[in-house]
Amino acid sequence: MQVLKRRLEKSEEYWERAKKVIPAGTQTLSKGPTQYVQGVAPKYLKSGRGSHVFDVDGNEYIDYAMALHPVILGYSYPRVNEAIRRQLEDGTTFSLMHPLEVEVSEMLVDTVPCAEMVRFGKSGSDATTAAVRVARAFTGRDKIASEGYHGWHDWYIGTTEHSKGVPQAVKALTETFRYNDIEGLRQVFAKNEGGIAAVIMEPVGIVEPKPGFLQEVKDLSHKNGALLIFDEVISGFRMSLGGAQEFFGVTPDLAAFGKAMANGMPISALVGRTDVMSQFNEVFLSHTFGGETLSLAASLATVSELREKKVIPYLWRQGKKLQEAYQKIAEEAHLESGYTISCIGYPPRNVIAFRDVTGKDCLEMKSLFQQEMIKRGILFPGYNAISFSHSDEDIEKTIEAYVDSMKIVAKAAKENNFRKYLEGGVVSPVFRNP
């Protein structure tokens, strides 16, 4: 497959300007330069059509980040764009409530198993934080048991290495446990007997739940008087139309949705049981843009399209093609020196794991593979967020790039020297492993 000739001058010009006016140079760490091989990857994208994006220098790529998962239908998707245009003619934000608040809420209640009532936010962090607050109000307890990633607000981010600025008293209110570790959660309850308001977790990330694990979490939570909150900001509208809770058949008390529900427009939703959600009659959750109509119109169009076009089965089919091809290519590469590469997770959203001889993440190998994919016109972040616009041709070109990139990675592994072939620095994780 041909290596593309690309220029990146405008990306670099914008980056030099950004460093002077934006702390860390970026608004979103996962989109920043630390996540891509510099000197090879673009820094700024200008536009997108379908599954393709175009950077500020005019280079074109097949995109597998899809804006960190929100663009589930495709960039500039006609039905969503038209819904936004129509609403824009009528107005964006009003002095009183808008009918779309009711219509989108009814749609979510009809779609998501646990949804009986709905409140909107603008980000996933809004929804998860609202869930934690209302759970505390409902149970009269303060502490939270947390697994997975849940956004930037104090109650969660205080448990991570990015906790600077979070009071110690706030950090002490959240306990963590590991996915698929029911004994670890049991210990959290034992340590905080009668004090856990809710268990909040991603029902699925990349690792599959052990048989019965999600139901065990629900049963253990309820046995101890705690609510179960599913963070479906990523899994929602991707695993199944009703989210991972529908796919796995385990209904939580509350669930947070976001990302894919509006194909890239900024909106999130907290949904759940009427008796819990009714606490918002007194629990304060109110913001000027809660009823912003462009995002609501986009949500209505997006979920309707997902349902009518049977989008989710398509995501599974296209994702499966990539997974199976990647696994075959990785096996045939016969990596030496104990390095391993595997494609893990479910087809609609899968991750390519690069491991060294000790079984730990090998960022040098990931960086080299990413570099070679980008040079062949594939914007590869380390995972594949499949969209309805990823065509058969896109998949075929991606597999061709896999083959060529794997040859170079295998050669570097044989020499036990990935840096020799890197044209830029090694990528960094947003969160480091403990």
Among residues 149, 156, 179, 383, the one annotated as catalytic is 149
How many distinct helices (H) and strands (E) make up the chain? 14, 14
Helix (H, G, I), strand (E, B) or coil at 148: coil
Among residues 63, 231, 253, 394, the one annotated as catalytic is 231
* Among 280, 146, 396, CA closest to 270: 280
Q: How far is CA 157 from CA 127, 173, 232, in A?
A: 15, 12, 18
Give the whole-angstrom CA distance, residue 223 versus residue 216: 10
- 259 carries an active-site annotation: yes
- 231 carries an active-site annotation: yes
Give the whole-angstrom CA distance, residue 147 versus residue 144: 10
The DSSP result for 20-53, as a single string, is HHSGGG-S-GGGSGGGS-TTTS-S-EEEEEBTEE
Strands 196-201 and 143-146: parallel
Spell out the alpha helix ranges (H) of 65-160: 78-90, 99-111, 124-139, 154-157
Among residues 43, 143, 218, 259, the one annotated as catalytic is 259
- 402 carries an active-site annotation: no
Give the whole-angstrom CA distance, residue 300 versus residue 107: 8
* Among 264, 283, 227, 263, CA closest to 114: 227
State the catalytic residues: 149, 231, 259
